[in-house]
Structure 1
């Protein structure tokens, strides 16, 4: 894979040998961990979406389960194409923040995928009528160091972090088998998409459990979490050479327009350059195709919807983004 045109030969040489940790100077602080729009509406009930109203091209089934400690309750919505599967089976894509992901899709998007190669959509939501369960997602999507105590958000003490490895285990042991039960699934084409804390989770899972999925979509990942832990994991990461996979990192170029306690005071170009460098290091690994894409004109909240459409377009071969998006 070639580098984006704005990286000249000098930067190519610098990026090839740079470690992710060495690039931390580009990111002096933190950035949004919830979509900007969510600050206003994540407590508001969602109107009926595609799973409730139905589709002419997809069927839906819902699974409910609780975390092993009983603290979090999940609603897993599986959208199954009515179109016959390819010979190898449907490609499944797991969508973190499943309530918000489904709310971003409509029948037009489903029909566009149906006209191409529709995947099975597995929306990993919480059993609530809200777009986000902010406490549950902060626990499930954020990693901690081994033997480290749970991480508490100083601004929101009710929000703890550090349960990503528990959620990976729940995915691997229970959720994936239940979601894919009785479906013709191509187990060599599993994908996962996540945004913000979800994007952080995607990178943590990639760097620590690279055989769990084949295609990885991380949008606006919260890299600063726990002292940039995920970038330390990136330095140790090696893609299994007997597998072929892909990774797409995405971030808007207007995510810092809203200033306040979540703003890192840096520039979007600095942060995006670091993600570009991380993608380049990953792309240099045999068997892994990785790239970074700037979401032009997108703030943090808008990046959720745009990145989701890009991921689904990539998996299905459809065009989900029009000139009006």
Structure 2
């Protein structure tokens, strides 16, 4: 991992206090990622810092860092404890680059893909397994070499397609994180695959020795969206809490008067508190 530079050879225009920036190349796919790491000013606990892996860092890394900096000053009041934030993003300037479709989605048969509103074809997808291996086999070991990390207190946060990725991780690798936080998850993208994974989820949970916490959330104004994100998220939460899998607890929140994008700041704030719970 080397210090991150923009394509024109310059550092980012704005550098948040306490934040390091890197480029990393995935060994398997040769895809480039922009990694941003914020570390608390306070000394780590004896067990190490909790760590939050944040997807779509292009869009929400700054939001999470500023919320953490303010709220973790008084954890006894806010319920937010200092944690390392690892943002996984891209070198592109836009907040939601098309590369995320490849990284966040399992392969989906063409006939099962939802129709795009403008009629165009969707960006390339199907690289979620490779992206997972990049995080688990490259990114996490590097972060744990550089910083004092408590591996028993790891969280992952994603929104929309990132929320879908978080739930795919939960279903396939339920012991990878302690807290899985999925905002407005695009469960309609891969419903057949998800249904198959749900059938065998309890058996995968048998080997998990720690309690898993799951938070699903959506904005109230998303209720009219044809994806049915609120209904699907609520149903997924109910399934988790009533499944045969032991050691998993799920919550669903519908944020009043928020839409698919405006929900992000309140989701990020709630995610910090959720990830801080013992």
Distance between the aligned counterparts of 1:309 and 1:159, measured in 2?
30
Distance between the aligned counterparts of 1:272 and 1:206, measured in 2?
14
Contact 1:113 1:316 in 2 (8 A): no
* Per-residue deviation, 1:81: 0.6
Q: Alignment partner of 2:241: what SS?
A: helix
Structure 1 residue runs of 5 or longer lacking an equivalent are 1-47, 258-262, 318-325
Give the equivalent residue in structure 1 for 2:170.
206
* Per-residue deviation, 1:71: 6.0
Q: Does 1:248 align with 2:215?
A: yes
CA root-mean-square deviation: 2.9
Runs of 4+ in 1 over 6 A off after TM superposition: 151-154
Distance between the aligned counterparts of 1:269 and 1:220, measured in 2?
8
Contact 2:159 2:184 in 1 (8 A): yes
* One of 138, 159, 165 as aligned partner of 2:101: 138
Number of residue pairs aligned between Structure 1 and Structure 2: 256
* Per-residue deviation, 1:108: 5.6
User: TM-score with structure 1 length normalisation?
Assistant: 0.70
Structure 2 residue runs of 5 or longer lacking an equivalent are 1-10, 76-80
Contact 2:58 2:95 in 1 (8 A): yes
Q: Which structure is higher in RCO with an 8 Å CA cutoff and minimum separation 6?
A: 1
Larger mean CA deviation between 104-113 and 124-133 belongs to 104-113
* Structure 1 residues 134-173: aligned runs within 5 Å: 135-144=98-107, 155-157=119-121, 159-173=123-137
* Structure 1 residues 225-304: aligned runs within 5 Å: 225-238=189-202, 239=205, 240-257=207-224, 263-264=225-226, 270-281=231-242, 285-304=245-264
Q: Does 1:104 align with 2:63?
A: yes
Distance between the aligned counterparts of 2:137 and 2:67, measured in 1?
34
